[in-house]
């Protein structure tokens, strides 16, 4: 197969103020798309004008939620070069999600070839401000028109692009520890990126007015920390150790999470991945042992956490250390090509 390119005849106006781009507010001129049929496999790969997708009201995605997506970023450096950050890790996670949701996997190298063509085509949409990026959203939806409960025999894969800033910016976040509802279950789909995990969080989030995100607890005992909204969470212990929930099946294996772990260890910091009971967080925060906390994610980058609310009480971090800022600057410098790294994370689009 080869990627067919059908350029848009008329281009949309680009945003005027980069400080107002938000997250996912603007979509670029083009999109990547291809189709799947059980007999033909993946076929008809092309890059086309950003357009609507026509589906039957009986498409399986609407009724049984067979869908996956991924979140990636590309950056435009001061040298004018486009850089992708850990794209193969994202594609590997995408295929892991596909396997769990009984969706046919994609050829990562072929898709990355098409993605690079798409990025070049829509290069004028790249933000230039450090910390902003072109967000990349690969998605697969089940399209077979039937109400029969089964995995689909037909799918659409697409990638859309959106210039975006960090979803929270540099805001110091207030978290609500949810002790009634759960985001997704261990043994279910908690460790894959499928839309139902996020839709399930809407109602609990609507009840927690005044807080920036929910800190979820595990689905089995309601005791151990999982994720924060769309982020993984880290605690800094006595300014020198990083503590984060282990990947126990209830936590999405974040690419930014893994990057911070590797960066921290390369700088000589100890990183502990373990089950973290909520009472331990409360105790260590009260006693000043946990000096700071931050969330990590592709959309959020690295966001500082000011306080957590649990069972009627607020617990505030002292910020007597500032490892979050150290890792934030290091990560952005790598992504924008300002600083070299030893992990082969950055792929220049040529």
Both tokens assigned to 183: 């985001």
Q: Are both 18 and 148 inside the same structural domain?
A: yes
Residue 26 maps to a domain: yes
CATH number at residue 205: 3.20.10.10
Q: Are both 304 and 276 inside the same structural domain?
A: yes
pTM across the whole model: 0.96
Tell me what pLDDT residue 205 has: 94
Q: Are both 144 and 225 inside the same structural domain?
A: no
Q: How confident is the model at residue 166 (pLDDT cuts 50, 70, 90)?
A: confident
Q: Are both 58 and 202 inside the same structural domain?
A: no
Do residues 184 and 200 make contact, with C-beta atoms less than 8 angstroms apart? yes
Residue 347 maps to a domain: no
SS3 label, residue 318: coil
Q: Are both 206 and 245 inside the same structural domain?
A: yes
**112 vs 91: CA distance, rounded Å:** 9
Residue 150 maps to a domain: yes
Q: Total structural domains in the chain?
A: 2
CATH number at residue 72: 3.30.470.10
**109 vs 123: CA distance, rounded Å:** 21
Residue 226 maps to a domain: yes
Averaged pLDDT for residues 38-52: 97
**74 vs 182: CA distance, rounded Å:** 32
Supply the mean pLDDT for the chain. 96
Q: How confident is the model at residue 297 (pLDDT cuts 50, 70, 90)?
A: very high
Tell me what pLDDT residue 323 has: 94
Residue of 243, 189, 179, 257 lying closest to 217 (CA atoms): 179
Backbone angles phi, psi at 347, to 5 degrees: -120, 115
**343 vs 325: CA distance, rounded Å:** 20
Q: How confident is the model at residue 256 (pLDDT cuts 50, 70, 90)?
A: very high
Last residue of a domain, one of 146, 164, 182: 164
Number of C-beta neighbours around residue 114 at 10 A: 21
**111 vs 203: CA distance, rounded Å:** 35
Tell me what pLDDT residue 191 has: 94
Q: Are both 197 and 53 inside the same structural domain?
A: no
3-state secondary structure 309-338: EECCEEEECCCCCCHHHHHHHHHHHHHCCC
Residue 75 has pLDDT above 80, yes or no: yes
Residue of 191, 278, 279, 276 lying closest to 241 (CA atoms): 276
Do residues 322 and 292 make contact, with C-beta atoms less than 8 angstroms apart? yes
Residue 58 maps to a domain: yes
Q: Are both 127 and 207 inside the same structural domain?
A: no
Tell me what pLDDT residue 350 has: 82
Q: Are both 141 and 192 inside the same structural domain?
A: no
Backbone angles phi, psi at 10, to 5 degrees: -125, 125
Q: Are both 306 and 210 inside the same structural domain?
A: yes
Residue 169 has pLDDT above 90, yes or no: no
Backbone angles phi, psi at 307, to 5 degrees: -155, 160
Q: Which residues contact 20 (CB under 8 A, 6 or more apart)?
A: none
Domain hosting residue 125, numbered range? 4-164
The model's pLDDT over 88-113, given as tens digits with 9 standing for 90+, comes to 999 999 999 999 999 999 999 999 99
Tell me what pLDDT residue 132 has: 95
Residue 229 has pLDDT above 90, yes or no: no
Q: Are both 257 and 207 inside the same structural domain?
A: yes
Residue 248 maps to a domain: yes
**74 vs 77: CA distance, rounded Å:** 10
Beta strand pairing call for 301-310 and 173-178: parallel
């Amino acid at each position: 197969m080869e990627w067919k390119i059908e350029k848009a005849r008329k281009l949309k106006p680009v945003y005027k103020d980069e400080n107002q781009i938000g997250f996912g507010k603007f979509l670029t001129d083009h999109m990547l798309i291809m189709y799947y049929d059980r007999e033909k496999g993946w076929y008809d790969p092309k890059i086309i004008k950003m357009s609507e997708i026509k589906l039957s009201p009986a498409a399986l995605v609407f009724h049984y939620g067979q869908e996956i997506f991924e979140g990636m970023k590309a950056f435009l450096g001061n040298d004018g070069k486009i850089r992708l950050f850990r794209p193969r890790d994202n594609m590997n996670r995408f295929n892991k999600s596909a396997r769990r949701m009984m969706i046919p996997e994609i050829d990562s190298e072929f898709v990355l070839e098409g993605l690079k063509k798409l990025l070049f085509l829509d290069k004028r949409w790249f933000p230039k401000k450090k910390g902003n990026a072109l967000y990349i959203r690969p998605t697969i939806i089940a399209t077979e028109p039937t109400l029969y409960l089964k995995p689909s025999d037909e799918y659409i894969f697409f990638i859309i692009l959106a210039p975006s800033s960090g979803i929270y910016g540099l805001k110091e976040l207030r978290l609500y520890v949810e002790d009634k509802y759960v985001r997704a279950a261990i043994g279910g789909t908690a460790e894959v990126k499928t839309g139902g995990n996020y839709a399930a969080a809407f109602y609990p989030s609507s009840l927690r007015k005044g807080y920036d995100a929910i800190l979820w607890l595990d689905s089995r005992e309601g005791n151990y920390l999982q994720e924060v909204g769309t982020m993984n969470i880290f605690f800094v212990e006595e300014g020198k150790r990083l503590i984060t929930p282990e990947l126990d099946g209830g936590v999405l294996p974040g690419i930014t999470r893994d990057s911070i772990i590797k960066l921290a260890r390369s700088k000589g910091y100890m990183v502990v991945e373990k089950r973290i009971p909520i009472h331990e967080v409360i105790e260590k925060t009260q006693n000043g042992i946990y000096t700071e906390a931050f969330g990590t994610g592709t959309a959020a980058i690295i966001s500082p956490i000011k306080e957590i609310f649990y069972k009627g009480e607020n617990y505030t971090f002292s910020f007597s250390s500032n490892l979050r800022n150290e890792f934030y600057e290091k990560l952005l410098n790598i992504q924008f090509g300002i600083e070299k790294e030893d992990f082969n994370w950055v792929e220049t689009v040529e």
